[in-house]
Amino acid sequence: MTLTSIKTTTLFAFIAVSVILVGLFPFLPLPEESTGFLVFLGRFHPLLLHFPIVLVLLALIAEGLIVYQVKTLKTAIPNLSFLISPLLISALVSVLITAIGGYFLYRSGEYQGDLVRTHLWGGVLLVLTLNGAAFFYWHSKNGEIKREHRLYQACLLAANGLVIFTSHMGGSLTHGKDFLTEHMPSFQTLKPAPVEQKKTEELLVFQDLILPIFEDKCQSCHNEYKLKGGLQMTSFASLQKGGKTEKPLFIANNPSESELYHRITLLDGDDDKMPPQEKAPLNEDEISLIKWWITSGAIEDMMLGTEPPDSITTLLQGFLPKLYQSERLKMRQGEELEELAKELAEFGKDIGLVIELDPEYPGFFGVSMEIPPATINNQTVNNLMPYATLFSKFSLPGAEIDDDALFEIGKMSNLRALYLPNTCIKGEGLIYLKNLSLLESINLSNSCLSNDGILNLIQLPEIKTVYVWGSKADTLMLQALRKNLPEMKILEEEGAYY
Ligand code: HEC
């Protein structure tokens, strides 16, 4: 496709149509939610946009080379000018199609808010400057008229700037605002999540407990860019604003009249149920917590306080560790986690332990003995305390530790499995493990577990499996325990190591 085969008048007509059509986009009425064919076309936008990005950049590179040649060699050899017209024509066509696709996607209402408006404006200005560049280029008779040629170069430069700006805005729209920077190397390690640093009674019911539920299960459709049903669920204020139906989301002390509560408690299969069927529903704890908050007045800065009802205290025992864990996970991803893994591996080596990421629980670490094992005692366990909340598995078979070490281990709030066979644990320290709400199994085979000590298992009813092979506990005791702890498997086996 060369200029000689396409009349200049045709090109100018194309430019005029593009500019008028795309120039109108920002001024057309605000989008209604729509579905169907236009949305189907719109979904091609993220695919198409790569063409104009590359073409606009290539045009700039070609122009740069020509300028360089003319400046240094006084002439363009080989003359790259023949590239400019085809590049401009293909850029114009692809940018127009992309812009129209983008506009259809915008009209679908899937994206709303300031960021998408900025993206739209970026795209429109890009189309205008690129068409400007082409217009001046062909007016300059392929570079013969100096002033027009300068204008062409300026527009082309501006178009490239707008490509960067607009695609960054688009990237933020689809991937979230921090997409570019989230994996920027960061050298800070080990921050407990901010919620975790607060005393339980100081936790804010809405901000600290309920908002993370929405973040998890609602915000994918109700955020500042995507407002399904016209509803944004990212803050107290946005919830108060409500959605399209303008029904109040919560009415103080009256959950059953509150649209929010109504939507999450509808029966499965109801079209109005939130989140919609294909998404993970809220669990009972989450629903009870929201109900309690509304019943208590739906106040933005209500604190948990020292005396929430028993039902809430109980549900928080399961809820809080999971919340802390997910908050911490959010903070430790990507590079930060790699840094941390390196730091822990080195630290472990210094004290004779292997500390590695636990593939079963992403973001957490497993601690195990070196082969051959180094001398490990209570002091070693104590040294690990700065990292206590990072461990999901803890395995010290044969270590010279006793029940005092269990006091420190009791602070490893994310522990799932504890392996302490062949140690001198008698069992009186088991009581320290009471707060480890995620702990599922303990291996105490061939340890010094005594008849009195093992009785402390009564305090740990959540634990699913305990290995007690070779302990000093007698049969009567084991029978009694099994009777009182029907959910717990107390196995006279050696059990697995980690
Ligand atoms: C998969 C997307 C999706 C998820 C996830 C989702 N919603 Fe919705 N939500 C919608 C859509 C679509 C509408 C509009 C249609 C309707 O009203 O049912 C809507 C509407 C609503 C409305 C009505 C707003 C109004 O006034 O019209 C409420 C309330 C609501 N959602 C609450 C929630 C809650 C609470 C959650 C999380 C527990 C949630 N949604 C999760 C898609 C979603």
For residue range 278-331, what is the model confidence (pLDDT) as tens digits? Answer: 777 899 999 999 999 999 999 999 999 988 999 999 999 888 888 887 777 666
Instruction: Please tell me the distance between residue 77's alpha carbon and the centre of ligand 1 in angstroms.
Output: 62
Q: What whole-number distance in Å separates Cα of residue 291 and Cα of residue 210? A: 10
Closest CA to 95 of 26, 174, 15: 15
Distance from the alpha carbon of residue 386 to the mean position of ligand 1, in angstroms: 42
Q: Which residue ranges have their beta carbon within 6 Å of ligand 1? A: 217-218, 220-222, 228-231, 242-245, 247, 249, 259-260, 263-264, 272, 274-276, 279, 282
Residue type, 354: V
Contact 270, 264 (CB under 8 A): no
Average pLDDT value for residue range 141-169:
89
**C-alpha to C-alpha distance for 147 and 78, rounded to whole angstroms:** 24
Q: How far apart are CA 239 and CA 167, in angstroms?
A: 30
Q: Which string of b and e fits 202-220 if b means at least 16 CB within 10 Å?
A: ebbbbbbbbbbbbbebbbe
Residue nearest to atom 20 of ligand 1 (CA): 229
Encode pLDDT of 19-52 as tens digits: 999 999 988 876 565 667 777 888 888 888 999 9
Predicted confidence band at 188 (pLDDT cuts at 50, 70, 90)? very low
Distance from C-alpha of 105 to C-alpha of 399, rounded to nearest angstrom = 62
- Which residue's alpha carbon is at the smallest distance from atom 43 of ligand 1? 221
Residue showing tokens 């000590």: 453
pLDDT tens by residue, 233-268 = 999 999 999 999 999 999 999 999 999 999 999 998
Measure 308 CA to ligand 1 centroid, in angstroms.
29
pLDDT average, residue stretch 81-98: 92
Q: Which residue has the higher pLDDT, 371 or 78?
A: 371
Q: Specify the ligand 1 atom closest to the Cα of 278.
A: 1
Pocket test for ligand 1, best of 112, 218, 226, 262 (most atoms within 8 A of CB): 218
Q: Confidence class of residue 445 from pLDDT cuts 50, 70 and 90? A: very high
Q: How far is the CA of 337 from the centre of ligand 1 (A)?
A: 34
Compare 175 and 216 and report the one with higher pLDDT. Answer: 216
- Residue 1 is predicted with a pLDDT of 45
Which positions ≥6 away from 189 have C-beta within 8 Å?
336, 339, 340, 343
Q: Which of 53, 56, 52, 157 is nearest to 97 (CA)?
A: 52
- Give nearest CA residue, ligand 1 atom 14: 229
CA dihedral for 115, 121, 122, 127, sign (positive or negative): positive
Radius of gyration over every alpha carbon of the chain, rounded to an integer in angstroms = 32
- Measured in Å, residue 233 CA sits from the centre of ligand 1 at 9
Task: Give dist(CA 387, CA 340) in Å, integer.
Answer: 10
Q: What is the number of residues in the chain?
A: 498
* Over residues 112-125, mean pLDDT: 88
Taking 70 as the threshold, does the pLDDT of residue 426 lie above it? yes
Q: Could you give the percent of the chain with pLDDT greater than 70?
A: 91
From atom 29 of ligand 1, which residue's Cα is the shortest distance away? Answer: 260
* Residues 143, 149: Cα–Cα separation, whole Å: 5
- Please state the atom number of ligand 1 nearest to the C-alpha of residue 260: 29
Please tell me the predicted confidence (pLDDT) of residue 193: 67
**Is residue 195 a contact partner of residue 323, using CB atoms and an 8 Å limit?**
yes
CA of 310 to the centre of ligand 1 (A): 31
Quick check: 180 pLDDT over 60? no
Quote the CA–CA distance of 39 and 29 in Å, as a whole number. Answer: 17
Cα-to-centroid distance, 222 and ligand 1 (Å): 7
Q: Please report, as a single letter, which amino acid is at residue 91.
A: A
Residues near 9 by beta carbon (within 8 Å), at least 6 away in sequence: none
Instruction: Give the other-Cβ count within 10 Å of 353's Cβ.
Output: 25
